[in-house]
Amino acid sequence: MSKVDRRITKSQEAIKSALIELMSEKSFDHITIKDIADRANVNRGTIYLHYLDKFDLLDKIMEEHINNMGDFCESATEMDWIESTVHCMEYLESNYLFFSTMLASEGARYFRSQFLKFNIEEFKKDVDITKGKNYGQSEDVIVEFVANAYVGVVEWWLKNEMPYPPRAMAEKVGELLERII
């Protein structure tokens, strides 16, 4: 496996950060490659060296965060709901600017649908309709309900600038999830 040049990684991180910062200030439609290059302190050519255009850049950033959330959830599978949720809330907090821009603004509606889709797949792993409180229910309805509620609560939390610390928020959400799933 070849090593990635640190300068390349540093440039890519600066470019990604620049786009997210700009999206927190103005509409994605009004952001230009020049704006991104200026904010990242790189040449426009550097952006085009790594990304096709601003849409490709945004897609790569969203894909990276969805994959990271997947990795976080994978590492939290042995935890109970509350500890697992703490794990996820801490990831959201550490990436606040990205998630608040993507979920709490008009920044990228597509991301919300991808985030919801990701959560639907994660909650499908935990729903059991063969016994217990969900016996006889529709798995699709339960999963849609829980995933939409979870994404809605995350949006609320971010829009309100995280009024509860991650652990407190996770405990509240985890207790609710335990009632449903």
Instruction: Encode pLDDT of 26-36 as tens digits.
Output: 888 899 999 99
Q: Average pLDDT, whole number, for the chain?
A: 88
Q: Give the span between the Cα atoms of 120 and 79, in whole angstroms.
A: 19
**pLDDT-based confidence at 108, cuts 50/70/90?**
low
The encoded tokens of residue 26 equal 């103005």
Q: Say what the pTM is.
A: 0.81
The owner of tokens 């309805």 is: 141
Which has the higher per-residue pLDDT, 132 or 148?
148
Q: Are 19 and 58 in contact (CB under 8 A)?
A: yes
What pLDDT is recorded for position 42? 97
CATH architecture type of domain 54-180: Orthogonal Bundle (1.10)
Select 1-51's CATH number: 1.10.10.60, 3.40.50.960, 3.60.15.10, 2.60.40.10: 1.10.10.60
Could you tell me where in the chain the CATH 1.10.357.10 domains are found? 54-180
